[in-house]
Structure 1
Amino acid sequence: METRGIMGGFYRFSEWVMRFSAINLLWIISSSPVLAALWIFSAWTAQIDDFTRYLGWWLVLGFVCILNAFTFVPASSAMFAVARKWVMGDVDVPLWRTYWKSYKANYKQSLYGGLLFSLFLGIFLFNIHYYSTVGNVLNSLALTFIVMIVLLFAAFLNFLSIMSHLHMSTFQIVKNSFLITIGQPINTLILLVLNAGIVYISILYNFLIVFFMGSVMAMISFWNFYRGFTKIQARFKKSEEDEEEEEEESDDSDDSEESEDSDGEWTEADPAEENPARLPAEKDENLEDEPSREERK
């Protein structure tokens, strides 16, 4: 029986609270090795001298960046796969099954992509530290690398969205994540502002970090990506239709010329012309062996 009115609204609200909190807790548990490493290091640095602490920060930074690729990035990709289902209308998707199936399916791509983004982050952080300690003339370069880290964060969110939505190689996903970040500045700005607001509110109210921050960021990020992607699809479809109309017109003119030319010869069509460039295929919205909505009911 479908509930309506105030009680129906409260029921739907509680459902979304459950969905966001469940996926966020799964994400935190899957990323727990990174959190444990940071906690152990913070306790260790409180008992050592400044030089050892300085050296230890760089060692732990490299360790955490590598560990991120093995734990945090695959967990985030699985969370984005669930968020993709929600944004595309499948709100009743089984959370546990979808999360872990996506975790295993995208593990290799998220691992390789995570290592690349971790490498970029380490290089940028090193340059920020180096240029901030030298003369005043070069201090502005440190600000440049800070901006690059912000753009890297936006590209990472687009990377997770693309990986959860399209069938592409890891290199293509990384490349397109940067192209989308740079080529769609308005969408990138919206993405950064919305996620910065979520992080800021979560820091003010710490319980949100545990139950909502990651899952809400994933849904907002994929919604922003999908909104831009549908616009690209519409433009691509329109250009294909225009090309088909031009080909039909050229075929009609060729047929009329061939009927007039008695000595004309037939030639095979170029396969490359019959298969124009297409957008990458979207991943199937229904995972294998996943029960239908009727079966779940």
Structure 2
Amino acid sequence: MEFRGLMGGFYRISEWIMRFSVTNLLWLVCGLPFFAALFLKLLFMAGDFPNESLQMNWAMGILAPFTLFPATSAMFSVARKWIMGDTDVKLLKTFFGSYKENYKQAMIGGIFYTLLFVIMYIDYTVYMTQLTSMRMIGYVMLGLLIILFVSLFNFFSMVSHYHMKTFDILKNSILLTVFRPIRVVLTAVVSGAILYFGIKYPFIIIFFAGAVIAYYAFFNFYSTYQKMQEQQAKMAEQGNEDSESPGDEALLSGEERRDHDGDKPSSDSKS
């Protein structure tokens, strides 16, 4: 039965509330060990237990590649379906199917990102607190940390959208962030605003934050992807194919995933 008018509007809104909330809850459940460590860290910080808080930092770093990264990759895969027009996709089947298919790639990427975050954060802390005469290097490290964090949006989008080797996705996600920064930086700003309100109103974190951020991040990624495809087509018509930037060439070099079940490219191309 199809509703029209005001009732139709309410029905469509309720559908999207359901989609976002179910996907967000699946993400939280699959990333539960990481979020439990984060919750304990916040408790220890509030109770002034620095040693225990530091231990939770290590726990989060160990757990993130094996829980948070695969869960986030699966959530982005669901958001990808929505952005590409398949709004009635089966949420459980798509989420857990993508979770299983992309687990290894997301885990390897998670290990890489976690190690880089730890190394760069330690360097930043040392230069800012101990080697104060070289504080400028600390600011450089902070800038690199921000670029690395922002590139996560491209990493998860590319894992969900491409069949590509893990190393290539890691490299291309950073290249794309550097050469096409506007949309991904905008994604980071909007995500920060959502998390800010989520701290004030926890139900936003529980039911919406992750899924809404994934939807908006993939929307921006896919818009960039389509724009570069259009530019590539125009340059090909003009005989200027070699004028692509390195970020454009990297993004357009992968094999796009197919949308329909049972007819997907082989995952042998992934490492």
TM-score by length of 2: 0.85
Per-residue CA shift, 1:38-96, capped at 9, x if unaligned? Answer: 3445556788975xx1xx55544233212100000000000000000001111000000
Partner amino acid for 1:210? I
Partner in structure 2 of residue 7 of structure 1: 7
Query: d(CA) in 2 for partners of 1:91 and 1:81?
Result: 12
- Larger Rg belongs to: 1
Offset of residue 123 of structure 1: 1.0
What secondary structure does 1:70 align onto? coil
What secondary structure does 2:86 align onto? coil
What secondary structure does 2:65 align onto? helix
Q: 2:255 aligns with which of 281, 290, 296?
A: 281
Offset of residue 155 of structure 1: 0.5
Query: d(CA) in 1 for partners of 2:19 and 2:49?
Result: 45
Q: 1:217 aligns with which of 184, 190, 213?
A: 213
Query: d(CA) in 2 for partners of 1:48 and 1:231?
Result: 50
User: Residue 20 of structure 1 contacts residue 216 of structure 1 at CA under 8 Å; is this kept in 2?
Assistant: yes
Offset of residue 225 of structure 1: 0.4
Per-residue CA shift, 1:115-167, capped at 9, x if unaligned? Answer: 00001110122122212222543334333323322211211110000110011
Offset of residue 28 of structure 1: 0.2
CA-based RMSD: 2.4
Closer/same/farther in 2, CA of residues 10 and 45 from structure 1, 3 Å limit: closer
Correspondence 1:139 to 2:135 = yes
Partner in structure 2 of residue 80 of structure 1: 76
Alignment of 1:89-100 (within 5 A): 89-100=85-96
Correspondence 1:25 to 2:30 = no
Correspondence 1:108 to 2:82 = no
Query: d(CA) in 1 for partners of 2:227 and 2:45?
Result: 49
**Structure 1: runs of 5 or more not aligned:** 245-277, 291-297
Per-residue CA shift, 1:186-217, capped at 9, x if unaligned? Answer: 22322222212222222222210000000000
What secondary structure does 1:89 align onto? coil
Correspondence 1:130 to 2:104 = no
Closer/same/farther in 2, CA of residues 49 and 89 from structure 1, 3 Å limit: closer
Correspondence 1:174 to 2:161 = no
Correspondence 1:190 to 2:164 = no
Partner amino acid for 1:146? L
User: Residue 98 of structure 1 contacts residue 287 of structure 1 at CA under 8 Å; is this kept in 2?
Assistant: no
Partner amino acid for 1:8? G
Aligned residues: 253
What secondary structure does 1:25 align onto? helix
Partner amino acid for 2:258? D
Moved more, 38-47 or 215-224: 38-47
Partner in structure 2 of residue 35 of structure 1: 35
Moved more, 12-21 or 226-235: 226-235
User: Residue 23 of structure 2 contacts residue 75 of structure 2 at CA under 8 Å; is this kept in 1?
Assistant: yes
Partner amino acid for 2:205? I
Partner in structure 2 of residue 151 of structure 1: 147
Closer/same/farther in 2, CA of residues 5 and 141 from structure 1, 3 Å limit: same
Partner in structure 2 of residue 165 of structure 1: 161
User: Residue 62 of structure 1 contacts residue 122 of structure 1 at CA under 8 Å; is this kept in 2?
Assistant: no
Query: d(CA) in 2 for partners of 1:133 and 1:227?
Result: 41
Query: d(CA) in 1 for partners of 2:42 and 2:8?
Result: 46
TM-score by length of 1: 0.78
Partner in structure 1 of residue 268 of structure 2: none
Offset of residue 279 of structure 1: 3.1
